[in-house]
Amino acid sequence: MIKYSPFSGCSSGYEYDKTWYEETVVSKENWVCDRTLYVTNAFSFNRFGEVIGTFIFGQMGDTLGRRPVFFSGIVITILGRIACIFTSGTYWIFALSSMFGMLSALTLFQSPLVIAMEICKGEHRAHIAMMQCYGWTAGMMVMPLIFWYVRDWIPFLIITSFPLLIGMMFPKYMIESPRWLGNKGKYKRCARELQKIANVNDTKVKVTEALIKEMLKDHKVEKVYGMASLFTSKRLALNTSLMVYCWYEANFNCKIHFFTIFFVRIVLCMIYYAMVLNASKMDGNPFLNFIWQSVIELPAVFAGRYLGDKIGRRFTQVAAFVCAAITSVIVIFLVQNPDYATLTSALVVVIRFCVSVIFFAIHLQAMEIYPTCLRQTGFSVMSVVANLFGLLGPYIVYLGTTYDVRYPYLIFGILFASGGITAFFLPETLGQRLPESLAEAQEFGKGQPTWGLPKSNIVHKNDVSTDCDENDKEKLNQPEFAP
User: pLDDT tens for residues 256-309?
Assistant: 334 444 445 555 555 555 555 555 555 567 788 778 778 888 899 999 999 988
Please tell me the predicted confidence (pLDDT) of residue 71: 92
> What does pLDDT average to over the chain?
77
Please tell me the predicted confidence (pLDDT) of residue 340: 80
Give yes or no for a contact between 349 and 279, defined as CB atoms under 8 angstroms apart.
no
Most confident of 3-17, 51-65, 241-255: 51-65
Q: Are residue 238 and residue 207 in the same domain, yes or no?
A: no
Count CB-CB contacts under 10 A for residue 371: 25
Q: Give phi and psi for 152, each to the nearest 5.
A: -145, 135
- Residue 62 predicted with pLDDT over 70: yes
Q: Are residue 153 and residue 196 in the same domain, yes or no?
A: no
Local confidence band at 190 (pLDDT 50, 70, 90 cut-offs): very high
Distance CA 82, CA 383 (A): 25
Local confidence band at 191 (pLDDT 50, 70, 90 cut-offs): very high
Distance CA 269, CA 470 (A): 48
Range with the lowest mean pLDDT among 7-21, 252-266, 465-479? Answer: 252-266
Please tell me the predicted confidence (pLDDT) of residue 462: 39
Is 320 domain-assigned? Answer: yes
Is 482 domain-assigned? Answer: no
- Residue 146 predicted with pLDDT over 50: yes
Distance CA 297, CA 352 (A): 8
Complete DSSP assignment for 395-447: HHHHHHHHT-TTHHHHHHHHHHHHHHHHHTTSPP-TTPPPP-SHHHHHHTTTT
Burial class from Cβ neighbours inside 10 Å (0-12, 13-18, 19+) for residue 402 reads exposed
Q: Are residue 262 and residue 400 in the same domain, yes or no?
A: yes
Please compute the mean of the pLDDT values over residues 178-190 and round it to a whole number: 89
Q: Are residue 124 and residue 193 in the same domain, yes or no?
A: no
Is 1 domain-assigned? Answer: no
Q: Which residue has the higher pLDDT, 150 or 234?
A: 150
Q: Are residue 202 and residue 161 in the same domain, yes or no?
A: no
Distance CA 216, CA 191 (A): 12
Q: What share of the chain is helix, strand, coil (3-state, %, to 5)?
A: 75, 0, 25
Q: Give phi and psi for 23, each to the nearest 5.
A: -155, 135
Q: Are residue 129 and residue 205 in the same domain, yes or no?
A: no
- In the DSSP assignment, the letter for residue 452 is S
User: Residue 256: which CATH number?
Assistant: 1.20.1250.20
Q: Are residue 300 and residue 201 in the same domain, yes or no?
A: no
Q: Are residue 156 and residue 71 in the same domain, yes or no?
A: yes
Q: Are residue 29 and residue 157 in the same domain, yes or no?
A: yes
Is 402 domain-assigned? Answer: yes
Please tell me the predicted confidence (pLDDT) of residue 78: 93
Is 483 domain-assigned? Answer: no
- In the DSSP assignment, the letter for residue 175 is -
- Residue 475 predicted with pLDDT over 80: no
Please tell me the predicted confidence (pLDDT) of residue 449: 72
Report the percent of the chain where pLDDT is more than 90: 16
Please tell me the predicted confidence (pLDDT) of residue 251: 52
Is 381 domain-assigned? Answer: yes
Please tell me the predicted confidence (pLDDT) of residue 260: 43
Q: Are residue 248 and residue 359 in the same domain, yes or no?
A: yes
Is 5 domain-assigned? Answer: no
Query: In the chain, how many domains are there?
Result: 3
Complete DSSP assignment for 333-401: HHTT-GGGHHHHHHHHHHHHHHHHHHHHHHHHHHHHHS-GGGHHHHHHHHHHHHHHHHTTHHHHHHHHH
Q: Are residue 35 and residue 109 in the same domain, yes or no?
A: yes
Q: Are residue 180 and residue 269 in the same domain, yes or no?
A: no
Give yes or no for a contact between 274 and 252, defined as CB atoms under 8 angstroms apart.
yes
Range with the lowest mean pLDDT among 183-192, 225-234, 319-328, 364-373? Answer: 225-234
Is 469 domain-assigned? Answer: no
Please tell me the predicted confidence (pLDDT) of residue 119: 87
Please tell me the predicted confidence (pLDDT) of residue 15: 79
Q: Which residue has the higher pLDDT, 390 or 270?
A: 390
- Residue 102 predicted with pLDDT over 80: yes
Please tell me the predicted confidence (pLDDT) of residue 272: 58
Range with the lowest mean pLDDT among 72-81, 384-393, 398-407? Answer: 384-393
Most confident of 246-250, 256-260, 471-475: 246-250
- Residue 226 predicted with pLDDT over 90: no
Report the percent of the chain where pLDDT is more than 70: 75
* Domain residue limits at 197: 176-221
Local confidence band at 483 (pLDDT 50, 70, 90 cut-offs): very low
Range with the lowest mean pLDDT among 32-41, 56-65, 71-80? Answer: 32-41
